[in-house]
């Protein structure tokens, strides 16, 4: 009885040390169950990110330059808000593209890189900024308050905000540079 209880607690997926006993599920059923779990996670992520057309959550954060930057309400230009961490490999892949896009659209787009310092180390964030040549403001979310306001779930997350302060698009993870630029073009041409 104890053996069966241990098995039930340890391995309800049929993948552990007693999996040879089977759990009555075919491999197809297991894969379908895993796919269903992944879809549920994807749905949860989608439900939690800010919705296009809604007002961008307001905040003020201090940047690496010591200045305070505010988001919320009307703006002179659209804004690309990039949430990142220095240890994040997709953030490293995306960084050179962000630098190029920020330079290319500097007259028509603001870019704020929000380092979620709560999950990072300040020295590592500073090194990342130097290594990748960020010239746009880098804000420090030291207590994760802003990331939570935006229901952050993954790094990087890019939020595109129009001059009226409304969210126009949210990109969780990375996109090929040409796809991100197409979204930016659409935003700045409005």
Of 8-12, 73-77, 119-123, the least confident: 8-12
Instruction: Note the Cα 141 to chain centre separation in Å.
Output: 14
136 has a pLDDT exceeding 70: yes
Same domain, 66 and 33: no
174-187 CB burial, b ≥16 within 10 A, e <16: beeeeebbebbeeb
Confirm whether 102 is domain-assigned: yes
Q: What CATH number does residue 165 fall under?
A: 3.40.30.10
78 has a pLDDT exceeding 60: yes
Per-residue pLDDT tens digits for 40-68: 544 554 555 678 999 999 999 999 999 99
At 153, list the tokens. 């779930």
Same domain, 107 and 40: no
Give the residue numbers spanning the domain of 126: 59-188
Query: In the chain, what percentage of residues exceed pLDDT 70?
Result: 74
> Pick the residue with more confidence: 12 or 136?
136
At 28, list the tokens. 């197809």
> Is the N-terminal amide bond of 46 cis, ω within 30° of 0?
no
Q: pTM of the predicted model, to two decimals? A: 0.75
């Amino acid at each position: 009885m104890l053996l069966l209880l241990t098995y039930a607690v340890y391995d309800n997926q049929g993948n552990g040390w007693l999996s040879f006993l089977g759990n009555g599920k075919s491999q197809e059923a297991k894969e379908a169950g895993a796919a269903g779990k992944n879809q549920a996670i994807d749905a949860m992520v989608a439900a939690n990110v800010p919705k296009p057309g809604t007002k961008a959550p307001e905040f003020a954060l201090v940047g690496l330059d010591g200045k305070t930057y505010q988001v919320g309400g009307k703006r002179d230009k659209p804004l690309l808000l990039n949430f990142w961490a220095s240890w994040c490999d997709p953030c490293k892949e995306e960084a050179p593209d962000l630098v190029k896009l920020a330079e290319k659209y500097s007259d028509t787009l603001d870019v704020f890189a929000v380092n979620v310092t709560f999950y990072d180390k300040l020295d590592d964030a500073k090194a990342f900024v130097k290594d990748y040549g960020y010239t746009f403001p880098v804000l420090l979310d030291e207590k994760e308050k802003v990331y939570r306001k935006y229901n952050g779930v993954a790094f990087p997350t890019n939020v595109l905000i129009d001059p009226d302060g409304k969210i126009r698009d949210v990109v969780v993870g990375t996109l090929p540079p040409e796809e991100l630029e197409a979204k930016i073009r659409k935003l700045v041409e409005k």
